[in-house]
Structure 1
Amino acid sequence: MASRAKPCSRPLRFPAHSRSQQPCPLILPSNPFARYDSAARVPRRFAHARAQQMHAPAESPKPTLGFILLAGALTAFGAVSIDFYLPALPDIARHFGATAAAAQLTMSAFLAGMAIGQLGWGPLADRVGRRPPLLAGILIYTLASLALTRVPGIEALSAGRFVQGLGASAGLVIARAVIRDRYDTIESARLFSLTFLVLAIAPMLAPTAGAWLLAHAGWESIFLVLAAFGLIVGVSVLFGLPESRSAATAEQAAGETPLQSYAAALKNRRVLAFVGAGAFNSAALFTYVSASPALFIEHYRQPPSAFGGIFALNALGLVIASQLNRAALSRWHPAVVARWGSAAALGFATLLLLLSLAGVDSMIVTMGFLFFGLGSYGFVSANASALALGAMPQRAGSISGLIGAGAFLFGALASAITAPFAASGPLPMAAAMAMGFLGAMLCIRLAIRS
C-alpha cells in the first residue's frame, strides 16, 4: 500500500488585497485514475492537498462571457497572424521572386518575435501592471501590420513580421497572467481550455478567409485585416479589461530584476519541466502549421480553398480535445491528464512516422493521424501552463513569458528545420512531431517525479 503523502507544512498567508498565495508541492495519487472530491477537486485519498489547488482568493469571480471572449482574442493574436497568412505563402514567394523556403522563413521570423517579445513583456507586466504593456504591444502590432502592406522585398517582409510578432506576444503572455491573477490552478486550466474555443476559430476560419482575400484583393489585404483586428482588440482592452495584478506580485517584482525573476523560476524544477513540456508540445504543433501549406498544396496538389477546409478539420480536433480536457479536470489532476494526453499524441505521431517510412503516402491517412495527434495537444497545453504558473503564482508574468518564449522559440526552430522538406511528403513533418511529443511526455514525467 502506497505511503500517505504529507500535507504542505507551509502556512498559506496572503493579504486581503492579494490574488495569489504561496504554492505547495505537487501531490499526485499513486493511482492515476483516482477520482476527485467534488468540493476540493483533489483525489479523495489526498483531500489534505486542497491547499495545492487553492492559490487564488477564496472567492474568485466567475468568468463572464465578455472576459472569456477578450482573453481568447488576446490569446489568438499569434494564431490569427499565422493562419490568415498561410495560404498566401506561395503567392508571396512568386511576388518577390523568392524560394518557398525563404517565404517559410517569414513565418519563422514571426515566431521568433513572439518568443523574444514574451521574455520582455512578462516581467514588465509584473512590475508596472498588466494594462500598460498590453496596450503598448497591441499598438506595435497594429502599426507593424499596416507597414507590412508596403514592404519592398522578402527580407523586409521577414523583418516586419518579426516586429509584428514582438507586438503580438504581449497579448498572449499577459492574457495567461491575467487568468492566473484571478483563478487557482484548476480553474486556470479549465479557463485556458475554454478560451481555446475562441482561439480555435482562427485555424477553422482564418485560412479560408485568407484564401478568399488572396484571390480577391491580394496578399496585402491580409495585413490590413490583421491591423483592424489589432485595433478592435486594443479598444476592447482599453475600455473592458481592468487591472488585475496583485499587490503581492507588485512587491515581488519591485524587489528583483527580470533576470533574477527568471533565474528563480528556472531553478524550480517543476516550473522548468512544465515549461519544457509546453515548448516541446508547441514545436510539434508549429511543425504542422508551417509544413502543412507545402504538404497539402504542393505535394498533395490541393487548391488553397481546399487547404482551408483541411486546416479547419484538424483545428476541430483541437477544439474537441480542449473541451474534453475541461471535463477530465473534474475527475483527474491536471498533471495526470497532461501525461496521458502527451502519450496519446506521441503514439499517433509515431504511427504516422512508421507508415511514412513504410512508403504509405496517402492524404487521407495523413489527415486521420494528424486529426488525432493534434487533438491530443489539447490535453497538454492548458494543463502544463496552469501547473507552471501555479508553482510560483507571484511571478505569473515572468513564468508566462517563459511559457510563451519556450513555445514559440521551439516552434520557430522546428518550422525552420522542416520548411525546406515540407513539400517532399509527410515523413519530415511526422518525424519532427514525434520528437516534439516525446520531449513533452518526458518533461511531464520529470515534473511529476520532482
Structure 2
Amino acid sequence: MRTSTYLPLAIALLMFPQLAQTLYSPALADFATMFSVPPEAASQALTVYFLAFAFGVVGWGLLCDRVGRRPAMLYGLALFTTASVTALSVETFEALLATQALAALGAAAGSVVTQTVLRDQFSGPALARTFSLVGMALAISPAIGLAVGMGLVQGFGYRGTMLGLAGLAAVLWAWTAAALPETRPAVRARNALAQTGRTMLADPFIWRSALLVAAFNIALFSYYSLGPFIFQRLHTALEWYGYSGVMLAAGASSGSWLNKRLLDTGHAPATLETLAAALLLGGGIAVHAMRDSVWFLAPMLAVVMAFGIAIPNVLGQALRAYGDRIGTAGAVFGLMYYLLIGAGMLLVGWTQALGGTLIVCGCTAIGLCGPRPRSLRTQPLQ
C-alpha cells in the first residue's frame, strides 16, 4: 500500500493521544467540583494519565514487534473505548483515576505504534520532514481538544467528555480496521527487550533525546494542566481557556511550518533544537513576568512554537541506531520520556507555577543543546 493512502490515518492516530489529553483537561475543574477535591488533586489526574501512558508505550511497542502493528493498534483503541465507557458510572475520584489509567494505557498505542509505522517507512531527514508534516496537523489538536472539551463539559459535565472520547476511539478503531496496513518487516530481532533496554539506558544520546522530549512536553502540558485554575484565579470566564487553544494551535502550527521550511533549506536539526530551546526559555521568563494578567497568553505562543520546532527533530533522530528493532526501541524510549513527563507533571501539580515550570524546562533544554553525545550503539545487537 502506498504511504500516501494511510498517512491521513497515521496523522489521526498520532493526534488521538494529544486530543485525549487536551479534550480531557477542561474537565479537571469539573473533577474538583464533582468529587470535592482541591485543584492540586484534580491536576494529578493528568499525572496518572502520563504515568500509565508510559507503561502502555512499553506494552504496545513490544506487542507491535511480536504480533504486528495493526493488531496492536486495534487492541489499544478497544481498551481506551472500554475504559472511557466505564468512567461514565464511577462514584469516587479514585475510581475515576483508575479508569483514566486504563484509558491512557490504550491511548499509548496511538503514539508508539504509529511512530513505529512511520519509522518502518522513513528514516533520517525524510523521517524528520514527515514528523514536521505530522506536527502541523498535531498543532490543531489542542484547539480542537479544548474547544470540544469545553463544550462537552459545559453541556454534560466530565461524563460528556468521557462519552466523546469513547466515540472518537470507536471511530478510529473502525478506520484502522479498514485502512491500516501491516508494516512490520519480515526480518526482525526477537526477544531483545532486556538487551535493548540495557544498551539504551547506557546510551547518552538516548538520554539526551528523552530529556528534550520531556522538557518540551512538560512545558506544553503544564499549561493544559494549570490553565483552568489560572483563569479562575484571574476571574476570567473559563470559556476563554477553550478559546486560547485556537491561538496556541496557531503558534504550534507556525513552529512546525517554520521547522519544515528550515529543514528544506539545509538547516541542521541540532541548530533547530537550539532555536527551540531559546524560544522556550524566553517565553517562560515572559509568562512568569506576566503571571497576574491574561496577557501571559502572548508569550505562551513562543512556548508552543518551540514545541512545534523541537519535537519533530528530536523524534526523527532519536532511534536512528536501532532500526532493526524499532518497535522495541520505541517502547523503551517512550517509557523513558513518559516517565520523565509524568514525574514533571507531578511537580507541576504540586507547585501550580506555570512560569517557573517553563523556565526550568527552558534551562534544561538549553543545557542539553550543547555538543551532541554519540550513540553507544555502533554495532548491531545480538
Fold equivalence (TM over 0.5): yes
Q: Which residue of 1 aligns with 2:341?
A: 411
* Number of residue pairs matched by the alignment: 374
d(CA) in 2 for partners of 1:347 and 1:257? 42
- The structural deviation recorded for 1:204 is 0.7
1:320 maps to: 254
Comparing 302-311 with 436-445, which one deviates more in the overlay?
436-445
What amino acid is the match of 2:355?
A: A
Kindly indicate whether the alpha-carbon contact (under 8 Å) linking 2:41 and 2:349 is maintained by their aligned counterparts in 1. Answer: no
What is the distance in 1 between the residues matched to 2:134 and 2:16? 13
Q: Distance in 2 between matches of 1:307 and 1:421?
A: 20
1:439 aligns with 2:364: yes
2:324 partner amino acid = Q
After superposition, the C-alpha distances for 1:255-305 in whole angstroms (9 at most, x for unaligned) are: x33122222223333233222221222222222221112112x12222222
| Aligned residue in 2 for 1:29 | none
Pick from 123, 137, 147 the counterpart of residue 208 of structure 1. 147
Structure 2 residue runs without a partner (length 5+): 376-382
Which residue of 2 is the match for residue 306 of structure 1?
A: 240
CA distance in 1, matches of 2:333, 2:221: 15
User: Is contact 2:219–2:303 with CA below 8 Å preserved after alignment?
Assistant: no
Cross-structure match for 2:324: 394
Alpha-carbon distance, 1:148 to partner: 0.7
Map 1:96-135 onto structure 2 (within 5 A): 96-135=35-74
Is the 1:121–1:170 Cα contact (8 Å) retained in structure 2? yes
Deviation at 1:191, TM superposition (A): 1.2
Contact kept? 1:278, 1:406, Cα under 8 Å: no
Equivalents in 1 of 2:14, 2:365: separation in Å? 21
Decide whether the 8 Å contact of 1:280 with 1:407 is kept in 2. Answer: no
Q: Percent of counterpart pairs with the same letter?
A: 27
Determine whether 1:263 maps to 2:213: no
TM superposition shift of 1:402: 3.5
Partner of 2:272: 337
Question: What is the identity, as a one-letter code, of the residue corresponding to 1:400?
Answer: G
Find the counterpart in structure 2 of residue 288 from structure 1. Answer: 223
Give the match for residue 34 of structure 1.
none
Larger radius of gyration: 1
Contact 1:282 1:408 in 2 (8 A): no
Question: Per residue, is there more helix in 1 or in 2?
Answer: 2
| Aligned position for 1:362 | 293
Partner SS state of residue 297, structure 2: helix
Whether the 8 Å contact between 2:192 and 2:328 is mirrored in structure 1 is no
Do structure 1's residue 429 and structure 2's residue 354 form an aligned pair?
A: yes
Q: How does 1:29-48 map to 2 (within 5 A)?
A: none
Equivalent-residue separation in structure 1 for 2:367 and 2:8 (angstroms): 33
Distance 1:344 1:62 in 2: 37
Give the corresponding residue for 2:379. none
TM-score (norm 2): 0.92
Measured on the aligned residues, the alpha-carbon RMSD in Å equals 2.0
Please report how far the alpha carbon of residue 128 of structure 1 lies from its aligned counterpart in structure 2 after TM superposition: 2.6
CA separation in 1, counterparts of 2:324 and 2:372? 20
Q: Which residue of 2 aligns with 1:159?
A: 98
Using the size of structure 1 for normalisation, the TM-score is 0.78
Distance 1:379 1:401 in 2: 23
Matches within 5 A, 1:128-207: 128-207=67-146
